[in-house]
Amino acid sequence: MIRLENLSKHFASSIAVDGVSMEVAEGEVCVLLGPSGCGKTTTMKMINRLIEPSSGKVFIDGRDTSSVDVVELRRSIGYVIQQIGLFPNKTIEDNICIVPDLLGKDRKASRRRAAELLEMVNLDPAIFSKRYPKELSGGQQQRVGVIRALAADPPVLLMDEPFGAIDPINREVIQDEFMKLQASLKKTVIFVSHDIDEAVKMASNVAIFRSGKLVQYDTPDNLLAHPADSFVADFVGTDRTLKRLRLISVRDAMTADPPRVRAEDPAELATALMREHDHASIVMVGPRGRARGYVRRDTTEGRAEPISELFEKLPCMINVNDNLRNAVSMMFTNDLSWLPCVDDDGFYKGYITQQGITHLLGATYRDI
Amino acid sequence: MMGKPAWAMISRLCRWLSMVAIFALGILAHSSGLTASVAEYWGDIRYLSIQHLELTAISGAMAIVIGIPLGVLLARGKLGFMGPIIAQIVNLGTTIPTLAILALAMTVLGLGSPPALFGLTVLTILPIMLNTIAGLRSIPPALIEAARGMGMTNGQILMKVELPNAMFVILAGIRTALAINIGTVPLAFLIGGGGLGELIFTGIDLMDTGMLLAGAIPTALLAILVDIAASQVQFWLVPRGINPLR
């Protein structure tokens, strides 16, 4: 979708971007990451030609951008900046519709679209459409900044540290909202950031820059597991393995299809199952397979009554779609070494252990 | 350049001072039986007030038409080395006493309203131009970057982003300019330009206080009315999002 070919930018006394080549596939979020002055913003601005490249080419959808009229090019690319840049003299609605209006689209249709977009970021159009930017909080303004870039439905979105100036709590919320929006709109996004956590959270691929050069272009998990050099390793942080926890879902880490018992089963069956799998406890499920409780091996050993008289309540369960970071946090909070994993309807799907997680994370390092 | 609050304060102060002056004059006029002698000139007052306003309207309009584009060009730095020179020339227009400008204009353009309009225009350009420059410079660069990044042409950035967002400050300049202009129009009489100066100066020459006041009071009233009208324009024309008055 977007291809950079040997892209360079030389300023009078310095080289800002030096021979960058990369490709971003359609619907992906590519985060350009690096310390300030590394050339990531310059690279992004060469895509919509706010900065003209010294050499090299940019292709969008196979079309050389230098052959397209620059105004037409920019109108076909959504653009979000850190300072938001809403026009204070225009209402929120008119701000959102700037590009559709420039393109001469039907006013009523674009105003309707603006209201839809406002709803998508949890701003009530009845309240916000006619307000002015100064009447909104910073977080609300940047939500408008993002949907303004989406109003003309451009296939490509450029975002220059869009959430950098927003407080940490709101930033998380807006990031989540944007991911939800992106999941349904599937834009091709180039996202400049200096925050590794943000990159790991949002990116399909991360491009790490250092003094104008692209040093590693990889998936977040690979980046964290196998940094290309010591600069990347330093940049992603010494706790990079912990950061990977967020990238792995419980579903991928759990032991699926585990042994289970029903309430009416006798204790001997539970003991036998636990002995067979070498477990210290086993989950009890309801008639249709929902996780209801668990029994310990030292409780059932030598007993014969039904499980329903011996089971204990499960202190907590984790959803299979959750990530390992939350799973580990839940284990630490409840002083547990394992967690039962359930789906959205509460059906028992598997279990996850501290040892299993350690093993999984360690495996990628042992491979090399 | 003074800030917006300072301008607002000065214009408010001017308005109050004129009010007090009018009241004082009114009391004086009444106690000395001048009201009746002023009323004698009603026909002249009407005719000359219209002429007075015409001079202000034409010279004000010319100053706006010249001052705003000049301010835009200077703020952009598009004029290169000519920029500072032009700014200095405009500055001189305000520094040289108005009477001197009128006299100089008269030597070239002769008697009547053309030299008067020329002098008034020169006098009025500076505040409009300076406020245009200040208004444009106060626009955050991020707005321009966002506009450019969304695909606005330079002309669209000027018309849709820069000028609307500088409008409040530009209008403040126009308001100041009109206040100065209307108070200076009486001098136009000295080179045959007409206006209420005719009553004022003739009244001084004839030591006729009634005639003098028949010129001075309407001049003061016109200044106040024009300022009120300008402030209303400023209030209603500038959108709520950037209007500190609303």
Contact assessment for residue A156 and residue A190, using Cβ atoms and an 8 Å cutoff: yes
d(CA B243, CA A113): 28
B162-183 pLDDT tens trace: 999 999 999 999 999 999 999 9
Nearest-by-CA chain B residue for A73? B151
The reported pLDDT for the residue numbered A88 is: 93
Domains of chain A: 2-238 (3.40.50.300), 250-364 (3.10.580.10)
In the predicted model, is pLDDT for residue A367 greater than 60? no
Bridge partners, residue A80, by sequence: A159
Give per-residue pLDDT as tens, B140-162.
999 999 999 999 999 999 999 99
DSSP state of A246: G
In the prediction, which pLDDT does B246 show?
Answer: 76
Residues on chain B touching A73 (C-beta within 8 angstroms): 151
pLDDT score of B28 more than 90: no
On whether any CB of chain A is under 8 Å from the CB of B159, the answer is: no
Q: Quick check: A71 and B153 CB within 8 A?
A: yes
Is the predicted pLDDT of residue B78 greater than 80, yes or no?
no
Beta bridge partners, A207, equal A32, A217
Enumerate the residues of chain A whose CB falls inside 8 A of the CB of residue B242: 88-89, 132, 134
Where residue B105 falls among pLDDT bands split at 50, 70, 90? confident
pLDDT at residue A366 greater than cutoff 70:
no
Query: Do A117 and A169 form a contact (C-beta atoms < 8 A)?
Result: no
Question: Which residue of B150, B152, B153 to mutate against A (max A Cβ within 10 Å)?
Answer: B150
Rounded distance between C-alpha atoms, residue A300 and residue A305, angstroms: 9
Interface predicted TM-score (ipTM) over 0.85: no
Task: Find where tokens 């491979």 sit.
Answer: A367
Chain A residue at shortest CA distance from B153: A71
Q: Establish if B232 touches chain A: CB-CB under 8 angstroms.
A: no
Taking an 8 Å cut-off on Cβ atoms, the answer to whether B239 and A84 are in contact is no
- Domain boundaries in chain B? 15-242
Mean pLDDT to the nearest integer, A188-211: 92
Nearest residue to A61 via CA among A33, A96, A23: A23
Domain covering B15-242 in this structure, CATH number: 1.10.3720.10
The share of chain A scoring above pLDDT 70, in percent, equals: 99
Q: How far apart are CA B114 and CA B105, in angstroms?
A: 9
The confidence band for B1, taking pLDDT boundaries of 50, 70 and 90, is very low
pLDDT digits (tens, 9 = 90+) for A22-48: 999 999 999 999 998 899 999 999 999
Distance, in Å, from the CA atom of B81 to the CA atom of B109, rounded to the nearest integer, reads 30
Which residues contact residue A236 at a Cβ distance below 8 angstroms, ignoring those fewer than 6 apart?
A: A196, A223, A224, A227, A243
The answer to whether the Cβ–Cβ distance between B165 and A85 falls below 8 Å is: no
* Ranges A35-39, B26-30, B70-74, B108-112: which has the least confidence: B26-30
Going from the C-alpha of B189 to that of each of B53, B116, B119, the distances in angstroms are 13, 8, 12
Q: Which of A72, A81, A132 sits opposite B149 (nearest CB)?
A: A81
Task: Report pLDDT for B4.
Answer: 63
pTM, 2 dp: 0.78
A7-13 average pLDDT score: 90
Please give the sequence-ordered ranges of beta strands (E in DSSP) within chain A, or none if there are none: 2-10, 15-24, 29-33, 55-60, 63-64, 77-81, 156-160, 188-193, 205-210, 213-218, 255-256, 260-262, 281-285, 291-296, 318-319, 338-342, 348-353
Among the listed ranges A228-232, A255-259, A359-363, which one has the minimum average pLDDT value?
A359-363
CA distance B75 to chain A (A): 20
Q: Reply yes or no on whether the pLDDT at A311 is more than 50.
A: yes
Calculate mean pLDDT across residues A108-133: 93
CA B234, CA A98: separation in Å to the nearest integer? 25
Stronger pLDDT, B80 or B23, i.e. the higher one: B23
What tens digit of pLDDT does each residue of A50-72 get?
999 999 999 999 999 999 999 99
In Å, how far is A172's CA from the nearest CA of chain B?
Answer: 24
Does the pLDDT value for residue B21 go beyond 90? no
Q: What is the DSSP letter of B162?
A: I
CB B170 within 8 A of CB B131: yes
Distance CA A19, CA A78 (A): 25
Residues 6+ apart with CB under 8 A from A288: A347
Query: What is the dihedral angle through the alpha carbons of A310, A316, A319, A323, rounded to the nearest 10 degrees?
Result: -130
